[in-house]
Amino acid sequence: MDVETLLEQIRSRGGRVTPVTRLVIERALDNPEEHFRAVDLLQHVLDTEPTATESTVYRTLDRLVEHGVMERSQIGEGAPRFHVGHGPHEHLVCEECGGITDAPTNLLDGIAHHLHDSHGFVLRIGMSTLGGTCRDCRYADDPTGD
Ligand SMILES: [Zn+2]
Ligand SMILES: [Zn+2]
């Protein structure tokens, strides 16, 4: 997936492509593991488009989400996070460093079945945030731990 393909996808659906649109997509594609806040993307956009504001970036992100290019995730209580769309997944969030790691949705298959059978509850796939401590933080606390 490259920038031009995604921009073409937007244009073909009648969407508007601005310099900010391009900058946001470039940044997101260069860092597919990152979960950007609008303000993180603004830092990058400002290098080239000094008049851009956080609301410019938000409007651009909203359009990109509408066009299926970016995904928005609410992770914890902070600002929404954005990344290039790559299908449903769950999020593992480190309570020490705030790091966010993607995890496959089948991680929760057993839990989903249990919830359905015992509570009649249907879990929404790709919407869960699981808190804990990431590998890096665990090693920092206890370098001899596993
Ligand atoms: Zn951590
Ligand atoms: Zn994610």
Q: Does residue 101 contact residue 54 with C-beta atoms inside 8 Å? A: no
CA–centroid distance, residue 41 to ligand 1 (Å): 22
> What confidence tier does 58 reach under pLDDT thresholds 50, 70, 90?
very high
pLDDT value for 42: 95
- DSSP one-letter string for 43-96: HHHHHH-TT--HHHHHHHHHHHHHTTSEEEE--TTSS-EEEE-----EEEEETT
pLDDT value for 1: 78
> What confidence tier does 142 reach under pLDDT thresholds 50, 70, 90?
confident
CA–centroid distance, residue 79 to ligand 2 (Å): 14
Domain parsing of the chain, residue ranges:
3-84, 90-141
CA dist., res. 16 & res. 60, Å (int): 9
Mean pLDDT of 119-127: 92
> What confidence tier does 19 reach under pLDDT thresholds 50, 70, 90?
very high
41-55 burial, b at 16+ Cβ within 10 Å, e below that, comes to bbebbeeebeebeee
pLDDT value for 104: 94
Backbone φ and ψ of 40, nearest 5°: -65, -40
Mean pLDDT of 59-74: 92
Q: Which ligand has an atom closest to residue 34 CA?
A: 2
Predicted model pTM = 0.80
CA–centroid distance, residue 68 to ligand 2 (Å): 15
> What confidence tier does 90 reach under pLDDT thresholds 50, 70, 90?
very high
Q: Does the structure show a pLDDT above 80 at 4? A: yes
Pick the CATH number of 90-141 from 3.30.200.20, 3.40.50.720, 3.90.230.10, 3.30.1490.190: 3.30.1490.190
- The mean pLDDT value of the chain amounts to 91
pLDDT value for 145: 58
CA–centroid distance, residue 40 to ligand 2 (Å): 16
Residues bordering ligand 1, an ion, CB closer than 5 Å: 94, 96-97, 99, 134, 137
Q: How many CB atoms lie within 10 A of CB 67?
A: 18
CA–centroid distance, residue 35 to ligand 2 (Å): 6
Q: Which ligand has an atom closest to residue 92 CA?
A: 2
Mean pLDDT of 69-83: 89
Q: Tell me the CATH class for 3-84.
A: mainly alpha
Q: Does residue 90 contact residue 129 with C-beta atoms inside 8 Å? A: yes
125: nearest Cα among 139, 142, 104:
104
CA–centroid distance, residue 58 to ligand 1 (Å): 27
